[in-house]
Amino acid sequence: MKVVFAGTPEFAANALRTIYQAGHSIELILTQPDRPAGRGMQLQASPVKKYALEKNILCLQPESLNAQNIDTHKKSQTLATLNVLSELDFDVMVVVAYGLLLPKEVLDLANDKQRFGCYNIHASLLPRWRGAAPIQRAIEAGDSKTGVAIMLMDAGLDTGDVVTSEAIEILPTDTTSSLQDRLAKLGANLIVQCLSECAKGGRPKASPQPKDGVTYAQKIKKAEGAIDWSRSAKQLDQQIRALNPSPGANTVYKGETLKIWFSQAYAPSENANSLLPGTVLGKSDAGMLVQCGNGILEVLQIQKPGGKKVAALAWLGEEQTKQKEIRFDALLANLT
């Protein structure tokens, strides 16, 4: 199959590599423009662009694919990209975490009667968690399972017909990083199966999404990392795992913002009513125990501003030599 691929992060690059290795011809790659990253905030190519350069595949990076209401420079980039697409000989389009909306004219090109359509790898069991952050929201909500859906794209937000989907369990220790890795492999395998069906001569059968069970996975905001210790230990553990690796969950201790990367929730303690949320109860074999509004959170890994990630036990040992009582700020809703 002659494929146009649109994607940006490592999740997308995994699918791109698998499609390429399966023997399909990548005719064009679309990815977002290079963005500042790292301590020096130098421009960095996306993982998808890096793979395009490695394999010497044509790669375009428009700021937008919609030529309406954008400045002259961006509009010229967009029009040039749309012109390349309109003249390109391709069979199918695959979109994975691209980060840009596809206008109707692009979808119409992919849906030309000579082509097989535009397929999206979405990291949830649609219609649950449509939107930008399905992996994070599934963990945050305490879902027991999630999965990948291969969807025929339409003009709506993840509303297209589903070609195939497959579920996997969300483990109690899963972070967004670990779950994303498993979903990326699953999605890559499913899209290759879909392309193989197209190569046999026809579009795979697709079914409309159920009208019931629709939820939206809003984009993660930095302020959501603020830990409110009056919440339950279970909720906080889900928050911490959902925001690992980015933007990270954080709390304040003696005016210093600390990030918490790994944790585990325990049932309520007998003396919970007499303790303020955020109070450090002591240590366990693996971490430090913090009183929550309901239950105890075992904090396993912590990080000071500008420092390295360290075992919470090491951090606790240092602080216990300075003072007896250790308590994190109970509320931090306004942190940005």
pLDDT for residue 268 = 66
Question: Is residue 134 located within the same domain as residue 180?
Answer: yes
Question: Is residue 203 located within the same domain as residue 290?
Answer: no
Among residues 195, 217, 239, which one ends one of the domains? 217
Torsion of CA 133, 139, 144, 150, to 10 degrees: 20
Q: Which helix (H) or strand (E) holds 112?
A: none
**Which residue type sits at 336?**
T
Question: Is residue 197 located within the same domain as residue 280?
Answer: no
> 76-91 in b/e burial notation, b at 16+ Cβ within 10 A?
ebbeebbebbeeeebb
280 in any annotated domain = yes
335 in any annotated domain = no
332 in any annotated domain = no
Among residues 174, 201, 217, which one ends one of the domains? 217
CATH number assigned to the domain comprising residue 237: 3.10.25.10
Question: Is residue 27 located within the same domain as residue 108?
Answer: yes
118: left (phi over 0), alpha (psi -120 to 50) or beta: beta
CATH number assigned to the domain comprising residue 137: 3.40.50.170
Question: Is residue 41 located within the same domain as residue 91?
Answer: yes
153 in any annotated domain = yes
For 41, counting Cβ atoms within 10 Å of its Cβ (0-12 exposed, 13-18 middle, 19+ buried), the class is exposed
Closest residue by Cα to residue 154 from 190, 111, 197, 121? 111
Question: Is residue 208 located within the same domain as residue 233?
Answer: no
Q: How many domains is the chain partitioned into structurally?
A: 2
160 in any annotated domain = yes
Contact yes or no for 113/140 (Cβ under 8 A): no
pLDDT per 10-residue tile (average), the chain, 336 residues:
97 98 98 86 93 98 85 83 96 96 94 94 98 97 98 95 98 98 98 95 91 97 95 96 97 94 82 78 93 94 95 93 83 43
Closest residue by Cα to residue 47 from 20, 8, 4? 8
327 in any annotated domain = no
Q: How far apart are CA 62 and CA 46, in angstroms?
A: 13
Among residues 199, 217, 235, which one ends one of the domains? 217
pLDDT for residue 335 = 39
Question: Is residue 176 located within the same domain as residue 29?
Answer: yes
Q: Please give the residue range of the domain that contains residue 314.
A: 222-320
pLDDT for residue 69 = 67
3-class SS letters over 4-63: EEEECCHHHHHHHHHHHHCCCEEEEEECCCCEEECCCCEEECCHHHHHHHHHCCCEECCC
Question: Is residue 237 located within the same domain as residue 156?
Answer: no
Question: What pTM does this model have?
Answer: 0.93
Question: Is residue 155 located within the same domain as residue 297?
Answer: no
Question: Is residue 238 located within the same domain as residue 180?
Answer: no
Torsion of CA 181, 186, 189, 193, to 10 degrees: -160
Half-sphere exposure of 128 (CA within 13 A, CB side): 17
Residue 301, helix vs strand vs coil: strand
334 in any annotated domain = no
Question: Is residue 197 located within the same domain as residue 254?
Answer: no
Rg, the chain, Cα only: 23
Question: Is residue 71 located within the same domain as residue 150?
Answer: yes
Residue 134, helix vs strand vs coil: helix
